[in-house]
Amino acid sequence: MSGGVDSSVAAAILVDQGYDVIGMMLRLWSEPGTDSVNRCCSPEAMAQARQVSAQLGIPFYAIDAQDVFFNQVVDFFIDGYTQGITPNPCLRCNRHIRWEFLLHHALAFGSDFMATGHYARLRHNNSRIQLLKAVDREKDQSYVLHVLNQDQLAKAVFPLGEYSKSEVRQLARNYNLPVADRPESQDLCFISQGDYREFLQRNSTLTANGGLILNTEGETLGYHQGLMNYTIGQRRGLGVSSRIPMYVLEKDQANNTLIIGERELLGRDTLWAEDVNWVSIGLPADPFQAQVKIRYKSSEEPASIYPIDVGKVKIQFDRKINGITPGQAAVFYQDEICIGGGIIYASE
Amino acid sequence: MHNNSIIFLDFASTTPVDPRVVEAMMPFFDQMYGNSSSTHQFGQLAEHALEESRRIVADYIAAKSSEIVFTSCGSESDNLALRGVAFAERDLRGASHILISPVEHHAVSNTAIQLQELHGFEVEFLAVDQYGIVDPDDVDRRLRPDTAIVSVIHANNEIGSINPIGEIGKICRSRGVCFHTDSVQGAAHLPVNVDELNVDLISIGAHKFYGPKGVGVLYVREGTPIYPILTGGGQEQNLRAGTHNIPYIVGLAKAFELARSGYKARHNNYIQMRDQVVNEVLETIQDSKLTGHPTQRLPNHASFIFKNVDGNTLLMMLDAAGYACSSGSACKTGDPEPSDVLTALGYPREWALGSLRVTLGQPTKPEEIDGFLTALPDLITQIRELVPH
Question: Do B227 and B315 share a domain, yes or no?
Answer: no
Of A298-302, B336-340, B341-345, which range is least confident? B336-340
A68 touches chain B (CB under 8 A): yes
What would the 3-class secondary structure string for chain A be? CCCCHHHHHHHHHHHHCCCCCCEEEEECCCCCCCCCCCHHHCHHHHHHHHHHHHHHCCCEEEEECHHHHHHHHHHHHHHHHHCCCCCCHHHHHHHHHHHHHHHHHHHHCCCCCEECCCCEEEEEECCEEEEEECCCCCCCCHHHHCCCCHHHHHHEECCCCCCCHHHHHHHHHHCCCCCCCCCCCCCCCCCCCCCHHHHHHHHCCCCCCCEEEECCCCCEEEEECCHHHCCCCCCCCCCCCCCCCCEEEEEECCCCEEEEECHHHHCEEEEEEEEEECCCCCCCCCCEEEEEECCCCCCCEEEEEEEEECCEEEEEEEEEECCCCECEEEEEEECCEEEEEEEEEEEC
Cα separation, A62 vs A47, whole angstroms: 11
Question: Do B268 and B247 share a domain, yes or no?
Answer: no
B2 touches chain A (CB under 8 A): yes
Provide the Cα torsion A115, A116, A120, A125; round to 10°.
-20
Q: Collect all residues of chain B within an 8 Å Cβ-Cβ radius of residue A109.
A: 316-317, 320
Cα separation, B275 vs B270, whole angstroms: 8
What would the 3-class secondary structure string for B57-78 be? HHHHCCCCHHHEEEECCHHHHH
Task: Give the Å distances, CA to CA, from A30 to A197, A205, A244, B282, B335.
Answer: 16, 18, 41, 37, 11
Average pLDDT over residues A203-217: 82
Question: A187: pLDDT confidence band, cut at 50, 70 and 90?
Answer: low
Q: Which residue has the higher pLDDT, B139 or A36?
A: B139
A303 touches chain B (CB under 8 A): no
- For residue B326, the enclosing domain spans 262-386
Q: Collect all residues of chain A within an 8 Å Cβ-Cβ radius of residue B320.
A: 22, 59, 61, 109-110
Q: Which DSSP symbol is given to B199?
A: -
Residue A36, pLDDT above cutoff 80: no
- The average confidence (pLDDT) of chain A is 90
Question: Do B71 and B179 share a domain, yes or no?
Answer: yes
Average pLDDT over residues A53-78: 94
Q: Collect all residues of chain B within an 8 Å Cβ-Cβ radius of residue A21.
A: 1
Q: Collect all residues of chain A within an 8 Å Cβ-Cβ radius of residue B335.
A: 27, 64, 66
Number of domains forming the structure of chain B: 2
**pLDDT tens per residue across span B171-214:** 999 999 999 999 999 999 999 999 999 999 999 999 999 999 99
Q: Collect all residues of chain B within an 8 Å Cβ-Cβ radius of residue A64.
A: 310, 312-313, 334-336
Distance from CA of B388 to the nearest CA of A (A): 11
Q: What is the ipTM of this complex?
A: 0.84
Domain-located, residue B227? yes
**Percentage of the residues of chain B whose pLDDT score is greater than 70:** 97
Q: Is the pTM of this model over 0.95?
A: no
Distance from CA of A45 to the nearest CA of B (A): 11
Domain-located, residue B180? yes
Residue A264, pLDDT above cutoff 90: no
Interface contact A46-B333, CB threshold 8 A: yes
Question: Do B103 and B78 share a domain, yes or no?
Answer: yes
Q: Determine whether A93 is an active site residue.
A: yes
Distance from CA of A228 to the nearest CA of B (A): 32
Average pLDDT over residues A218-225: 90
Q: Which of B230, B260, B290 is the last residue of a domain?
A: B260
Domain-located, residue B13? no
Average pLDDT over residues B202-231: 98
Interface contact A61-B310, CB threshold 8 A: no
Average pLDDT over residues A238-257: 87
B321 touches chain A (CB under 8 A): yes
Cα separation, A320 vs A266, whole angstroms: 9
Q: Each residue of A143-173: b (16+ CB within 10 Å) or e?
A: bbbbbbeeebbebbbbbbbebbbeebbebbe
Cα separation, A335 vs A337, whole angstroms: 6
Average pLDDT over residues B29-56: 96
Q: Collect all residues of chain A within an 8 Å Cβ-Cβ radius of residue B313.
A: 63-64, 105
**pLDDT tens per residue across span B77-132:** 999 999 999 999 999 999 999 999 999 999 999 999 999 999 999 999 999 999 99
Catalytic residue selected from A40, A41, A90, A93: A93
The pairing of beta strand B68-71 with beta strand B216-220: antiparallel
Domain-located, residue B164? yes
Residue A236, pLDDT above cutoff 50: yes
Angle among Cα B62, B68, B69 to the nearest 5 degrees reads 160
Question: Do B29 and B172 share a domain, yes or no?
Answer: yes
| Contacts for A79 with CB less than 8 Å, ≥ 6 apart | A87
Interface contact B333-A104, CB threshold 8 A: no
Query: CB neighbours (10 Å) of residue B235?
Result: 19
Q: Which of B239, B260, B281 is the last residue of a domain?
A: B260
Short-list B145, B148, B129, CA closest to B137: B129
Distance from CA of B229 to the nearest CA of A (A): 32
Residue B249, pLDDT above cutoff 70: yes
Task: Please give the pLDDT value at position B1.
Answer: 47
Q: Which of B231, B260, B289 is the last residue of a domain?
A: B260
Domains annotated for chain A, with CATH where assigned, are 5-117+159-174 (3.40.50.620), 207-265 (2.30.30.280), 267-347 (2.40.30.10)
Interface contact B319-A59, CB threshold 8 A: yes
- The average confidence (pLDDT) of chain B is 95
Question: Do B279 and B226 share a domain, yes or no?
Answer: no
B30 touches chain A (CB under 8 A): no
A282 touches chain B (CB under 8 A): no
Q: Which of A27, A104, A109 sits opposite B333 (nearest CB)?
A: A27
